[in-house]
């Protein structure tokens, strides 16, 4: 069968290869023909040699969607012909993480999605709603799950206000899912055109952080000086102080990324005096992914796929993601 390997941490190291076809699946295992994959910031870290424990050569890309083509004995979750997405962490089925559950990551430390047929634990695939294309479905696992988990942990619902930073994959799912939960959304971007697109997705307030860095003041202004219930912060760095400033007393800052750096120390005083909960995130479990997909199914949310690349355009896909030129998600069609 066909596959793509990333042989070394380099954008020039994608290699089409032929691998042995997988055998009939064993007890509790399934075979999934991969139709599409999507990119996440973690994949950018892998290709630049910055993902801890990443192995080379490896099959890249954590997110994937495809059709079940064979099931082993005792598989009850899916049957041949079902359309599924693949969870990114093959051991973390439900509940709280441990190092053993959260560590292994598809496309980084274990085999990822750019393989014609993936052999998987049946407990790690989740059926997808009919209204989604393969590329839309493939964009769900990391970004939709992370966004959903941050909203759910902070009990976001009608009457809540949420601040989102930038218009990448996690933020745009968070926008769609927060609106589905009845919340008010304030979102920032470096681009007025992207902010216009966010308004079309029902963002209530928008702010260009390139024009002025003071997005936290804007948030305080638009919330009567109180701050928001939740900031989902993919940026980190010095700007993390702004997230602490923008959240209300007793609110939550979901620390999910470090696009602007991870080592910047934050002032603890607002955390203490405002009783802020700083909530980290290391992805989520299969149960978290299934919850996110349940909401996407009920609300018939269409994931925002910025662009679809073919397998021979992988380098361009990674470059677009790395440049932050996209809005929402970038997908890859396998043609398999
Ligand atoms: N911990 C977890 O569980 C978890 C899960 C998923 C992702 N993450 C992390 O979260 C981050 C975002 O992931 P993603 O998949 O959404 O990435 P992405 O799609 O690449 O998002 C990039 C976008 O972030 C915005 N951005 C970049 N630098 C910024 C800055 N200094 N201030 C404000 N916005 C900025 C830009 O939006 P504009 O172009 O609109 O300005 C950019 O397009 C990454 O660091 C990723 O590793 C963590």
Residue 222: in which H helix or E strand, if any? helix 215-222
- Residue 2 in tokens: 């066909």
Q: Which residue ranges make up each domain of the chain?
A: 2-139+303-333, 144-280
257, 262, 304, 322: residue to mutate for ligand 1 pocket, most atoms within 8 A of CB = 257
Closest CA to 321 of 60, 102, 17, 89: 60
Determine the atom of ligand 1 nearest the C-alpha atom of 284: 3
- Which amino acid residue places its CA nearest to atom 32 of ligand 1? 235
175 lines ligand 1 (CB under 6 A): no
Specify whether the CB–CB gap between 93 and 287 falls below 8 A: yes
pLDDT tens digit at each of 336 positions of the chain: 999 999 999 999 999 999 999 999 999 999 999 999 999 999 999 999 999 999 999 999 999 999 999 999 999 999 999 999 999 999 999 999 999 999 999 999 999 999 999 999 999 999 999 999 999 999 999 999 999 999 999 999 999 999 999 999 999 999 999 999 999 999 999 999 999 999 999 999 999 999 999 999 999 999 999 999 999 999 999 899 999 999 999 999 999 998 888 877 788 999 999 999 999 999 999 999 999 999 999 999 999 999 999 999 999 999 999 999 999 999 999 999
Torsion region of 335: left, alpha or beta (phi above 0 gives left; psi -120 to 50 gives alpha): left
Q: Which of 3.90.1150.10, 3.40.50.720, 3.40.80.10, 1.10.730.10 is the CATH number of 144-280?
A: 3.40.50.720
**Measured distance CA(118)–CA(122) in Å, rounded:** 11
**Measured distance CA(295)–CA(130) in Å, rounded:** 14
Specify whether the CB–CB gap between 107 and 43 falls below 8 A: yes
139 lines ligand 1 (CB under 6 A): no
Q: Which CATH superfamily is domain 2-139+303-333 in?
A: Medium-chain alcohol dehydrogenases, catalytic domain (3.90.180.10)
């Amino acid at each position: 069968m066909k596959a793509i390997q990333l042989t070394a941490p380099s954008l020039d190291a994608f290699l089409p290869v032929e691998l042995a076809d997988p055998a009939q699946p064993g007890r509790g295992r399934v075979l999934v023909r991969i139709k599409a994959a999507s990119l996440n910031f973690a994949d950018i870290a892998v290709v630049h040699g910055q993902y801890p424990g990443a192995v080379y050569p490896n099959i890249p890309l954590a997110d994937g969607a495809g059709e079940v083509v064979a099931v082993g004995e005792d598989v009850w979750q899916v049957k041949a012909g079902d359309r599924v997405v693949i969870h990114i962490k093959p051991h973390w089925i439900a509940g709280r993480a441990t190092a053993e559950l959260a560590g292994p990551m598809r496309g980084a430390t274990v085999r990822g999605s750019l393989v014609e047929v993936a052999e998987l634990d049946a407990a790690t695939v989740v059926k997808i709603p009919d209204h989604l294309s393969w590329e839309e479905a493939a964009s769900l696992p990391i970004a939709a799950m992370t966004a959903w988990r941050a909203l759910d942990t902070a009990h976001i619902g009608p009457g809540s206000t949420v601040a989102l930073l930038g218009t990448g994959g996690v933020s745009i799912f968070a926008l769609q899912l927060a609106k589905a939960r009845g919340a008010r959304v304030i979102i920032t971007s470096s681009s007025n055109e992207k902010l216009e697109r966010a308004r079309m997705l029902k963002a209530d307030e928008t702010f260009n952080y390139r024009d002025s860095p003071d997005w936290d003041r804007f948030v305080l202004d638009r919330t009567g000086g109180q701050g928001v219930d939740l900031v989902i912060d993919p940026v980190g760095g010095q700007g993390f102080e702004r997230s602490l400033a923008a959240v209300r007393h007793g609110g939550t800052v979901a620390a999910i990324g470090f696009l602007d750096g991870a080592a910047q120390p934050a002032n603890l005083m607002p955390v203490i005096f405002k009783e802020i909960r700083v909530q980290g995130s290391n992805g989520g479990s299969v149960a978290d992914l299934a919850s996110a997909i349940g909401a996407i199914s009920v609300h018939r949310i269409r994931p925002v796929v910025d662009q679809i690349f073919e397998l021979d355009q992988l380098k361009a896909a990674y470059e677009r993601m790395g440049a932050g030129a996209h809005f929402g998600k970038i997908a890859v069609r396998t043609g398999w």
